[in-house]
């Protein structure tokens, strides 16, 4: 099982793989495939809970899903994504919420959507023994401030500010950095500037690793971002299975003899 130290040391070596998971069976498949890290993403808001954004996701929802994912995972490093307002407002509350993921739900690390307000918190959490994965670029918890899910770091000043924040989080102890929806050249420069690994999503080929939302790669999402890729058609397979079940019940083919048991010792009841 990789530790956060192993992941740190993978920077510039083997590409690091990460996928999200929101339940135990999916986590088991991702883990068995040898993916390095499983992110219990707050993207569960859109992908699993039926919300339009990640904002309504609660600490309890991330916690119980992290528990399910951890129980199904033998090898991968499990990272709990801290939801909107579970950190950043009050330090003690943030420590309690993040600590709960390790203490009660067996996560190995937490991820924070970052800004200037998370530098000190990253240091505090790291000092307390809670490994932090930082996240810069498009941070969907800021959708109301950003005005949409747009690419970030698209001018010199914004790219420079992103690099500085990345360096501050590295300095504060983050063990890795997610870069979401940023120009490939900006992500490449940030990757070069840091010792810790960068994990890109919509950030081009030059980050140390890649992460995608599992529902998107499986073909389960209604809408996918332009930087994602569908690697399977699980929705099509689910539709086929559910329709076959419905047809089998309606036609009387199911249940068949092998699905039923007759208790010979029970007399006719009427
Ligand atoms: O919530 C999530 O799934 C994420 C990834 C897209 C990095 O934050």
Structure tokens belonging to residue 66: 């992290």
Q: Does residue 167 carry a catalytic annotation? A: no
- Atom nearest to 113 CA in ligand 1: 8
From the list 117, 32, 50, the residue with the least C-alpha distance to 82 is 117
Q: What is the pLDDT of residue 14?
A: 93
**pTM of the complete model:** 0.96
**What distance in angstroms lies between residue 179's CA and the mean position of ligand 1's atoms?**
10
Indicate which residue's Cα is closest to atom 3 of ligand 1.
41
> Whose CA is closest to atom 2 on ligand 1?
41
* 105-138 residue pLDDT tens: 999 999 999 999 999 999 999 999 999 999 999 9
Q: Kindly state if the Cβ of 208 falls inside 6 Å of ligand 1.
A: no
Long-range pairs for 196-202: beta carbons < 8 A, 24 or more residues apart: 196/8, 196/11, 196/170, 197/7, 197/8, 197/10, 197/11, 197/12, 197/16, 198/11, 198/166, 199/16, 199/18, 199/37, 199/133, 201/227, 202/138, 202/151, 202/226, 202/227, 202/228
Task: Identify the structural domains of the chain with CATH numbers, from first to last.
Answer: 4-232 (3.20.20.60)
Beta bridge partners of 39: 20, 79
Indicate whether residue 81 lines ligand 1 (CB < 6 A).
Answer: yes
**Residues 44, 166: Cα–Cα separation, whole Å:** 25
DSSP for the chain, please give it. Answer: ---HHHHHHTTTSSPEEEEE--SHHHHHHHHHTT-SEEEE-TTHHHHTS--SSSTT--HHHHHHHHHHHHHH-SSSEEEEEPPTTSSSS-HHHHHHHHHHHHHTT--SEEEEE-SGGGHHHHHHHHHHT--EEEEEES-GGGHHHHTSS-----SHHHHHHHHHHHHHHHHHT-SEEEEES--HHHHHHHHHH-SSPEEEESS-S-SSEEEE-HHHHHT--SS--TT------HHHHHHHHHHHHHHHHHHT-SS-GGG----TTSPP--
CA-to-CA separations, 176 to 98, 110, 111, 198, 254, in angstroms, rounded: 17, 11, 9, 6, 51
Of all protein residues, whose CA lies closest to atom 4 belonging to ligand 1? Answer: 41
Evaluate: CB of 211 within 6 angstroms of ligand 1.
Answer: yes
Q: From the CB of 80, is ligand 1 less than 6 Å away?
A: no
pLDDT computed for residue 139 by the predictor: 98
Probe residue for ligand 1, chosen from 38, 79, 211, 228 as the CB with the greatest number of ligand atoms within 8 Å: 211
**212 CA: nearest ligand 1 atom:** 6
Residue 1, pLDDT score = 83
- Report the pLDDT value the prediction gives residue 270, as an integer from 0 to 100: 87
Ligand 1 midpoint to CA 230 (Å): 16
Residues of the chain with pLDDT under 70: none
Q: Both tokens of residue 132? A: 């932090």
Ligand 1 center to residue 250 CA distance, Å? 41
* Distance between first and last Cα of the chain: 61
Give CA–CA dist 221/204, Å, rounded.
22
61, 113, 170, 180: the catalytic one is 180
């Amino acid at each position: 099982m990789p530790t956060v130290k192993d992941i740190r040391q993978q920077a510039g070596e083997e590409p690091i793989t990460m996928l999200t998971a929101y339940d135990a069976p999916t986590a088991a498949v991702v883990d068995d495939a040898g993916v390095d890290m499983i992110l219990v993403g707050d993207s569960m808001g859109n992908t699993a809970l039926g919300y339009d954004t990640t904002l309504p996701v609660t600490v309890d929802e991330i916690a119980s899903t992290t528990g399910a994912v951890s129980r199904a995972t033998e090898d991968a490093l499990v990272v709990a994504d801290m939801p909107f307002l579970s950190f950043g407002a009050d330090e003690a509350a943030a420590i309690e919420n993040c600590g709960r993921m390790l203490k009660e739900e067996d996560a190995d690390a937490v991820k924070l959507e970052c800004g200037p307000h998370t530098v000190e918190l990253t240091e505090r959490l790291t000092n307390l023994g809670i490994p932090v994965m930082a996240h810069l670029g498009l941070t969907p918890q800021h959708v109301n401030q950003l005005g949409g899910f747009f690419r970030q770091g698209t001018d010199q000043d914004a790219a420079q500010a992103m690099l500085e924040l990345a360096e501050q989080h590295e300095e504060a102890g983050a063990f890795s950095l997610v870069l979401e929806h940023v120009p490939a050249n900006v992500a490449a420069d940030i990757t070069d500037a840091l010792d810790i690994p960068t994990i890109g999503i919509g950030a081009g080929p030059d980050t140390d690793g890649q992460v995608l939302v599992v529902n998107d790669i499986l073909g389960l999402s209604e809408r996918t971002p332009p930087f994602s890729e569908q690697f399977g058609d699980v929705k099509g397979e689910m539709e086929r299975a559910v329709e076959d079940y419905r047809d089998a019940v309606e036609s009387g083919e199911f249940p068949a003899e092998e699905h039923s048991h007759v208790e010979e010792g029970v007399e006719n009841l009427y």
